[in-house]
Structure 1
Amino acid sequence: MSSIHFFEKGKGQPVILIHGFCEISEMWSEFADALSSNFRVICPDLPGCGKSPLTLSQNNLEEVSIQLEDWIEEENIQDPIVIGHSLGGYVTLALLELMGSKLKAIGLFHSTAFADDEEKKGMRDRTVIFLKKHGLDTFVTSFVPPLISEHKRDDFQAEIAVAIAQAKQSTLEGLIAYTKAMRDRKDRLEVLKNFSGPKLMIAGTLDGAVKIDASRKHKLAISDYHELEGVGHLGMIEQKDTCIEILRGFCGRVIE
């Protein structure tokens, strides 16, 4: 039996929303509420995050995707639309490579099909060192606020506090494992290109984690591309209503 913890709302076409690094399934609660009138929205905690235990000593995205495939089959989730934020997008692509046409459509939310370049890999290595030295609480308190575009941080202080509190529900071992998994992940642009189903991308023009120039290089591989002007890495906070409508419209077109 799968150890993946999740919550779900609604009935109909399954839509799986996968959270990112330093996040848990609860980040999607308002999205699940809004979309549940039309879809069966399912939000898992990735292993080592929230209420899902870290069952592998060294995570890599391939192992995570195998765990998610087992969970999807166990829960009888058929032909899902899978949308992932950041790390969740990397997991979505690994799942796509594993399951192929068993997925109805996919979405990358502030994410990329590219592997880390050498500069980013160095940053991941420094993150591992910081986590081991200073611990989870100190790391997430400094990591989360810059994900919001700088000119909007004062406007979203309450939301940032909630995001920090949710990030602290991860495990130190899980954050270290996922940092290494992100560093070592392979390029999956061809996997994305070769998928014949609908493909969504939401990008922020001020995203410091996934640069807008990199996002724009995906356009030929994406059927439904959206840019959020003046938005950082957390569009679901900075432009929540817009993002909900983008997801609602995309998922609706998938099942037309």
Structure 2
Amino acid sequence: MSGIHFFERGKGYPLVLIHGFCETGNMWADFAEALSNEFRVICPDLPGIANSPISEDQITLEEVAVSLEDWMKVNQIENPIVIGHSLGGYVSLALLELMGNRIKAIGLFHSTAFADDGEKKEMRNRTITFLRKYGVEKFVTSFVPPLFSENRRAELSKEIELAIEDGKRSTLNGLIAYAGAMRDRKERLDILKLYSGPKLLIAGTEDAAVKIESSRAQKDVFSHYYELQGVGHMGMVESKEETLELIRAFALESL
């Protein structure tokens, strides 16, 4: 597997921010800058995304976790706080299973420890079929806007366009690989229950990708649970200041 491309800002305790599906590490640029006075903020492109390419269109979350663990060793990222958005949350959970208490704290941002149900698995299959037929640009252009709360799409049109452009930096192999990896991932609720460190879940009440009912069904496993009212799947954009402060407070409390 190819090396992992990343950027970092600041010095101090390591805080790793992992992007979601149809996103790159660049999605965290504003958060990294804002948190850089207190943390060493590190934002990778997952293998198969943007500047971290893969040669095939299949991967497992377990393989991604191993790759990230190796990358952390090389870059002296020890006992980090890890926060992942959506797919990044699934990756963070696989990393938690691999590393256990060598992770200082974990945060899921519009993500879930549950596996896909049958309906969601079929949606992943349709995604793979669409990608093979039409390619990255057409997929990303149609996929990204519904991630935002319907009532805010006009207001956030510029932000949505930026998210689409960022998503277009994904590779075809990478998007196909992660659609399959998300479809085939296992439930990791027990991994969270066994983990003794701080655990954060940020959910959106209007999230169409990770339903609020799913988040509420697992809330008791987390030490920190927050619902963003009227927010869809993109809280870091839709409710930027609030989510930034939630992450800052959680990270500082975890030290």
Identity of aligned residues (%): 62
Equivalence map 1:53-132=2 (5 Å): 53-55=53-55, 57-132=57-132
Q: Classify the secondary structure of the residue corresponding to 2:153.
A: helix
Tell me, yes or no, if structure 1 residue 151 matches structure 2 residue 145: no
CA distance in 2 between partners of 1:192 and 1:2 (Å): 29
Report how many residues are paired: 255
What is the aligned partner in structure 2 of residue 167 from structure 1? 167
Shift of 1:57: 4.6
Paired letter, 2:186: K
CA distance in 2 between partners of 1:198 and 1:4 (Å): 27
Paired letter, 1:153: R
CA distance in 2 between partners of 1:56 and 1:126 (Å): 19
Tell me, yes or no, if structure 1 residue 183 matches structure 2 residue 183: yes
What is the aligned partner in structure 2 of residue 11 from structure 1? 11
CA distance in 1 between partners of 2:215 and 2:223 (Å): 13
Q: Classify the secondary structure of the residue corresponding to 1:226.
A: strand
Q: Classify the secondary structure of the residue corresponding to 1:99.
A: helix
Paired letter, 1:223: S
Give the conservation status (yes or no) of the 8 Å contact 1:2–1:67: no
Q: Classify the secondary structure of the residue corresponding to 1:20.
A: coil
What is the aligned partner in structure 1 of residue 239 from structure 2? 239
Write out per-residue CA displacement over residues 113-156 of structure 1, whole angstroms, 9 at most, x where no aligned residue. Answer: 00000000010011111111111100000000000000000011
What is the aligned partner in structure 1 of residue 251 from structure 2? 251
- What value does the CA root-mean-square deviation take over the aligned residues? 1.0
Shift of 1:160: 0.5
What is the aligned partner in structure 2 of residue 228 from structure 1? 228
Q: Any unmatched runs of 5+ in structure 1?
A: none
Shift of 1:2: 6.4
What is the aligned partner in structure 2 of residue 135 from structure 1? 135
CA distance in 2 between partners of 1:45 and 1:96 (Å): 18
Paired letter, 1:73: K
Paired letter, 1:72: M
- TM-score of the superposed pair, with normalisation by structure 1: 0.98
Paired letter, 2:108: L
Paired letter, 1:241: E
Paired letter, 2:220: L
